[in-house]
Amino acid sequence: MKILKILGILVAVVVLLIIVGISYIKVGLPNVGEAPEMAIKETPEVLARGEYLANHVAVCVDCHSKRDWTRFSAPLVPGTFGQGGEVFDHDFGFPGVFTSKNITPTGVKDWTDGELYRLITTGVTKSGEPIFPVMPYGSYGKMAKEDIEAIIVYLRSLRPIDNKVAASKADFPMSLILNTIPQPANPQPIPDKSDQVAYGKYIMTAAACSDCHTPQDDKGQRLMDKYMAGGFEFKLPGYGVVRSANITPDAANGIGSWNEDFFVQRFKAYADSSYVPHKVAEGEFQTVMPWMMYAGMEEEDLKAIYAYLISLDPNPNKVEKFTSEVTM
């Protein structure tokens, strides 16, 4: 009887600890601090910088607009810039249903500059709730403060669109795990462009390249022994599974055989005014890479990214680029 009593006490203690732990996660987290007091001044230079970053580097507009998935690289549908509504759900392999928000002035009119800054850099909403990191706020949190401010200025300049989108909902246990993901922003200064490798790393971080080109384990942790070595899977219903490329300087499986000009032209080919994305039939190769948006990146920035990637250790990770959903 004494043993049963002791066991009962132990069970009660364990249950209590579990309750306390869950309560802390739900109430005490995320803990990234209050939204800062900010009043960003708009200038033509700041607006131009924000437009460049939001459309061609951080590509915020990519996920927050409607994309035409019937065409290669799913170009943006004209007239939908920033309206939100793109759904990332179980069909795409996500642990829940997550919907991109309306980031036009209609959607963010009740947000202060500081609340938007905290959201973009930490993933925490104005009400203190965490968002799923389909938006790479971990990378954005390392951008210079003035670059995030420029993006905010640009978002406020978008054409207002009255488009109400559904709330996102995470499955259990992701609904708990989400609270543990946001971290305080860690803004980094923009390196001098003369240090091409350091500057390239900064631009690459702003573009969140590693979020897609570094595979993850089944718990969502990045496999740093395969940093930039590709293999991250994207499920594309109707087409198949596409995997990110190895962009380390491995000669056989990465970009080690590419020179700087080849790398730059790989992007700039989509900037040609005569280029029209081709139709992609069911089961054919499709990609999540927003080529048309990254094609607008300045050549100086693309060259810097190349310099950074070539400075990495080669990784021989071999990636099967695409598996069709159509069986022959």
Q: Is residue 22 part of a domain?
A: no
Q: Is residue 23 part of a domain?
A: no
How confident is the model at residue 25, as a pLDDT? 60
Torsion of CA 189, 256, 297, 244, to 10 degrees: -90
d(CA 153, CA 42): 6
Tell me which of 93 and 179 has the higher pLDDT: 179
**Does 127 lie in the same domain as 204?**
no
Domain around 253 = 191-328
Q: Is residue 15 part of a domain?
A: no
Domain boundary among 190, 205, 235: 190
**Does 204 lie in the same domain as 167?**
no
**Does 163 lie in the same domain as 298?**
no
Task: Say which residues have a Cβ less than 8 Å from residue 291's Cβ, sequence separation at least 6.
Answer: 73, 267, 270
Q: Is residue 14 part of a domain?
A: no
Domain boundary among 190, 217, 240: 190
Phi/psi at 242 (5° precision):
-110, 145
Q: State which amino acid sits at residue 159.
A: R
- Per-residue pLDDT tens over the stretch 187-208: 999 999 999 999 999 999 999 9
What is the number of structural domains in the chain? 2
Is the pLDDT assigned to residue 24 strictly greater than 80? no
Q: State which amino acid sits at residue 199.
A: Y
In the numeric block, the tokens 């389909």 are attached to: 134
- Per-residue pLDDT tens over the stretch 244-257: 999 999 999 999 99
Is the pLDDT assigned to residue 163 strictly greater than 50? yes
d(CA 199, CA 146): 16
Domain boundary among 159, 190, 221: 190
Q: Is residue 27 part of a domain?
A: no
CA distances from 262 to 136, 208, 215, 231, 293 (A): 28, 21, 25, 22, 18
CA angle 311-315-321, nearest 5°?
Answer: 115
Name beta bridge partners: 32. none
Is the pLDDT assigned to residue 328 strictly greater than 50? no
**Does 170 lie in the same domain as 267?**
no
Is the pLDDT assigned to residue 58 strictly greater than 50? yes
